[in-house]
Amino acid sequence: MARVHVTTIINDDPVDFLCDTEQTLLDVLRDELRLTGSKEGCASGDCGACSVTLDGRLVCACLVLAVEAEGRAIGTIEGTTKIFGSCCIGVWCVYAWIFGSRKVLVGAKS
Ligand code: FES
């Protein structure tokens, strides 16, 4: 099967990747790009372990096809180190991600 070339911005950096048309964004982030902060829990959009932002909106990466990321901006938990520094690990990153996402969302409304 031919792979699709996708051009994105991930955590404010331009990133190109090749993917299969049926690959989820979560699979590409974790398996191809080694951005493993987003986890696979339920794989059905229920748990939120795979949360990323797509053009500033919080989405479940397990429900988004990687090809849908073409030309769009993705934010992962790894990108929070640009906001909060590189000291957070584990559960603190989750809090930072939630707080950071809320800050972005609330800031976008005002
Ligand atoms: S893995 Fe649970 S919502 Fe995506």
Domains of the chain in start order, with CATH, are 4-106 (3.10.20.30)
Residues 62-71 pLDDT 10s: 999 999 999 9
Locus of tokens 């979560």: 26
Instruction: Evaluate: CB of 59 within 6 angstroms of ligand 1.
Output: no
50 lines ligand 1 (CB under 6 A): yes
Q: In sequence order, what are the residues at sequence separation of 6 or more whose Cβ sits closer than 8 angstroms to the Cβ of residue 45?
A: 60, 62, 63
Q: How far apart are CA 24 and CA 42, in angstroms?
A: 14
Cα of 63 from ligand 1 centre, angstroms: 8
- Full-model pTM: 0.77
CA of 45 from ligand 1 middle (Å) equals 4
User: pLDDT (tens digit, 9 = 90+) per residue, 35-51?
Assistant: 999 999 999 999 999 99
Is the beta carbon of 66 within 6 A of some atom in ligand 1? no
Question: Averaged over 90-97, what is the pLDDT?
Answer: 57
